[in-house]
Amino acid sequence: MKKLLMLCPMMLWLLLSINCQQVLKTETKNINQAFHYTLDAANGTIVQFANLSKAEFLGKLKLPSNARITRVEIQSLSCNVKVNPNNKASKATVSGFFIEILDSEHEYEHKMFDKKEITLSPVSGVWVGWVPINTLVGEGIGMLKTQLAKWLAEYNDYTGESIQLMLVGASTPTNSRLVMDFDLRIDASIQYEYCLTTSKLMGGEGFECEDAITN
């Protein structure tokens, strides 16, 4: 009787392993990434940079190790501001650029959004909340999407690269001191495929991984 009880789990494991299959699953994941800028412009003119490393971006995703990215979409850009007590400006007008770095001597600026006007609250030290940026420019958004898609295609390689976003603008009244924290958030969605081992006995359905990937 004891031997029979000991054999039961082994037989069950053997039965399940024989009847296992790998099926291809497709899922969508929403992600966001914020870039932080601390602005202090005595004459009201803004030129600031923020960086995002490949390792930082990919490290947030937590996808299956065998994931293959099939689609990337930039859904929206939004901003959030917090006014500093030393701020003298009532408004700020800002534009954002994606910096394409080809090598140490060649950089190109691609505009992502143009002249977003922000009314600055007289209340300092409080984040006002995320506001959508509607003045998006296709060229810069497309370049950003291309870069993120390239990183995602190399999901298991965290080494090396970073991207840079530039913020430029000016204050109102002209030349008034502008002091604030500015966060720029990118919301995106990615679609990915991965292989999942499931039991035929449990009714696992889907394309077999090898067939789906090669077709």
Question: Is the pLDDT score of 200 beyond 70?
Answer: no
How far is residue 121's CA from residue 156's CA, in Å, rounded to a whole number?
44
**Domains in the chain: boundaries:** 31-214
CA 165, 169, 170: angle at the middle one, nearest 5? 155
CB 140, CB 111: distance < 8 Å: yes
DSSP for 104-148 reads TTEEEEEEEEEEEEEEPPSS-S-B---EE---B-HHHHHHHHHHH
**Dihedral over Cα of 193, 199, 200, 203: its sign:** negative
Most confident of 85-99, 140-154, 193-207: 85-99
Residues of the chain above pLDDT 70, percent:
82
User: Mean per-residue pLDDT for 141-164?
Assistant: 84
Q: Tell me: the pLDDT tens digits for 10-60?
A: 544 444 455 567 788 899 999 899 999 999 999 999 999 999 888 888 888
**Dihedral over Cα of 69, 53, 145, 94: its sign:** positive
How far is residue 12's CA from residue 108's CA, in Å, rounded to a whole number?
61
Q: Round the average pLDDT of the chain to a whole number and report it.
A: 83
State the Rg of the chain over Cα.
25
User: Mean per-residue pLDDT for 149-168?
Assistant: 84
Question: Is the pLDDT score of 199 beyond 80?
Answer: no
